[in-house]
């Protein structure tokens, strides 16, 4: 992390607000066990250095996932960040960034190490992993909160980035509206969501997930390991996964984690470029551009454009007018 960038502790006073009355929360000092709202007196507990604005709820599988698997891979994460945001890390130095759905904190850490001031929000207990991954970066602060009712100041962030998140919420459109409001005029919003595949692929996936999302966590972990083995078998791992999704990542732990990430979450919605472009326009964003895909190659890009790659994304960036 030795980039020579000077990092000060990012104060959350006035940036994270009372989830009840939107008043100013007092008490953001190192080691504080709680914050208190100056308006309505509501108490926000701070556990493990992380303010808890909301309880985990329907994203419990992500708490289990991110705290179990170690998937931060700085070099690969940097490349994924570049492709999925259209930004080089050097550009974000000094920016105020909201990582909306930070999971285990891999991108929050990268941006913080590059000198951005980052607020990472996630609803699940993955915030514990994120806080650990971002330890030593006082300019990165992690908060447990709900993007669907986000108690964070409006119109202040230079960049709001949400990678692989809103499709796991109970209301992606509402989540989009909430995070879009946090971007300042001239600032950017980057969103990556699952792409809608062809109807047969969608039906198969819906049927499989109707079963897997009801399995106990331990059984799902076993299934993810089994699919991880399949993902290491040459040829099979490039063909069969166009029908039944499983990861063919070269790294074993990432493969297993990706499989769990696909089959465990309660919500998983798939979207089209036109739909998400419409969201940007409805929320007052201009210069809306499509980004990605992550992989290159004629065959891959053809299949991607024809919505045949299960687990691929709809990835757009826009600027607030
Ligand atoms: C697939 S993970 C992506 C994490 C991170 N962006 C990354 O790419 O490593 C999705 C994350 O979205 C979070 N999430 C889903 N719904 C949320 C909500 N309503 N509010 C906050 N976080 C939410 C989950 O807890 C989970 O950690």
CA–centroid distance, residue 135 to ligand 1 (Å) = 20
Q: Which two tokens stand for residue 43?
A: 């108490």
- Rounded to the nearest angstrom, the distance between the alpha carbon of 202 and the centre of ligand 1 is 22
pLDDT at 241: 86
Whole-model pTM: value is 0.96
Given pLDDT bands bounded at 50, 70 and 90, which one contains residue 2?
A: very low
Q: Which pLDDT score, from 0 to 100, does residue 258 have?
A: 97
Residue 114 lies in a domain: yes
Give dist(CA 188, CA 30) in Å, integer.
30
At a CB cut-off of 8 Å and minimum separation 6, what does 200 contact?
none
Note whether 189 and 144 are same-domain residues.
yes
Q: Is 193 in the pocket of ligand 1 (CB under 6 A)?
A: no
Indicate whether 80 and 223 sit together in one domain.
no
Check residue 317 and give its pLDDT: 98
Q: What is the pLDDT of residue 64?
A: 95
What is the tens place of the pLDDT at every residue in 31-40?
999 999 999 9
Same domain, 145 and 248: no
**In a shared domain, residues 241 and 276:** no
Contact 313, 191 (CB under 8 A): no
**Minimum mean pLDDT among 162-166, 252-256, 275-279, 296-300: which range?**
296-300
Q: Once rounded to an integer, what is the mean pLDDT over residues 4-19?
A: 89
Q: Are residues 278 and 253 in the same domain?
A: no
Name 249's Cβ contacts closer than 8 Å, sequence gap at least 6: 231, 255, 258
Whether residue 169 has its Cβ less than 6 Å from ligand 1:
yes
Tell me the mean pLDDT in the region 137-158: 98
Residue 167 C-alpha to ligand 1 middle, in angstroms? Answer: 9
CA-closest residue to ligand 1 atom 27: 103
Asked whether residue 204 is domain-assigned, the answer is: no
Q: Whose CA is nearest to atom 13 of ligand 1?
A: 101
- Same domain, residue pair 187 and 228: no
Structural domain that includes position 153: 25-195+270-320
**Whether residues 239 and 274 fall in one domain:** no
Sheet containing strand 25-26, edge to edge, reads 25-26, 34-37, 43-47, 50-51
Q: Which band of pLDDT confidence, cut at 50, 70 and 90, is reported for residue 4?
A: low
Query: What beta strand segments (E) does 195-282 contain?
Result: none
Domain count, the chain: 2
17: DSSP letter: B
CA dihedral 38, 39, 43, 47 (to 10 degrees): -60
Residue 279's pLDDT band (cuts 50, 70, 90): very high
Task: Identify whether residues 50 and 154 lie together within a single domain.
Answer: yes
Q: Percentage of residues in the chain with pLDDT exceeding 90?
A: 93
Residue 196 has pLDDT above 50, yes or no: yes
CA atoms within 13 A on the CB side of 69: 25
- Give yes or no for residue 106 CB within 6 A of ligand 1: yes
- For 278, residues 6+ apart whose C-beta sits below 8 A from its C-beta are none
Q: Token pair for residue 65?
A: 């996932």
- Whole-number Å distance, alpha carbon 235 to ligand 1 midpoint, is 31
Answer yes or no: is 203 within a domain: no
Same domain as 228, residue 164: no
Predicted confidence (pLDDT) per residue in 197-253, tens digit: 999 999 999 999 999 999 999 999 999 999 999 999 998 888 898 889 999 999 999
Distance CA 158, CA 142 (A): 18
Pocket test for ligand 1, best of 56, 60, 62 (most atoms within 8 A of CB): 62
One domain, residues 226 and 151: no
Residue 55 — pLDDT band, cuts 50, 70, 90?
Answer: very high
CB atoms within 10 A of CB 263: 22
Q: What is the pLDDT of residue 238?
A: 86
């Amino acid at each position: 992390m030795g980039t020579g960038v000077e990092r000060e502790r990012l104060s959350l006073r006035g940036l994270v607000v009372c989830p009840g009355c939107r008043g100013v929360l007092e008490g953001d000092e190192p080691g504080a066990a709680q914050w208190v709202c100056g308006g309505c007196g509501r108490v926000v507990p701070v556990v493990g250095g992380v303010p808890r604005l909301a309880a985990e709820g329907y994203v419990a599988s992500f708490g289990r996932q991110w705290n179990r698997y170690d998937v931060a891979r700085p070099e690969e994460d940097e490349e994924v960040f570049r492709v999925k945001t259209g930004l080089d890390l050097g550009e974000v130095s000094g920016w105020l960034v909201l990582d909306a759905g930070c999971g285990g904190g891999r991108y929050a850490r990268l941006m913080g190490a590059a000198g951005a001031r980052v607020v990472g929000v996630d609803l699940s207990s993955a915030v514990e992993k994120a806080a650990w991954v971002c330890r030593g970066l006082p300019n990165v602060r992690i908060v447990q909160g709900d993007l669907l009712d986000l108690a964070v100041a409006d119109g202040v962030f230079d960049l709001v980035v949400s990678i692989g998140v809103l499709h796991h919420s109970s209301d992606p459109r509402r989540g989009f509206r909430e995070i879009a409001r946090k971007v300042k005029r001239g600032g950017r919003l980057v969103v990556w969501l699952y792409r809608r595949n062809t109807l047969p692929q969608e039906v198969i996936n819906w049927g499989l997930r109707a079963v897997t999302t009801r399995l106990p966590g331990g059984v799902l972990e076993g299934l993810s390991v089994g699919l991880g083995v399949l993902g290491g078998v040459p040829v099979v791992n490039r063909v069969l996964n166009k029908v039944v999704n499983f990861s063919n990542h070269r790294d074993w732990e990432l493969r297993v984690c990706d499989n769990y990430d696909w089959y465990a979450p309660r919500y998983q919605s798939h979207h089209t470029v036109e739909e998400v472009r419409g969201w940007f326009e409805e929320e007052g964003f201009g210069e809306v551009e499509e980004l990605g895909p992550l992989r290159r190659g004629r065959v891959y890009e053809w299949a991607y454009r024809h919505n045949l790659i299960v687990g691929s994304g709809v990835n757009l960036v826009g600027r607030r007018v």
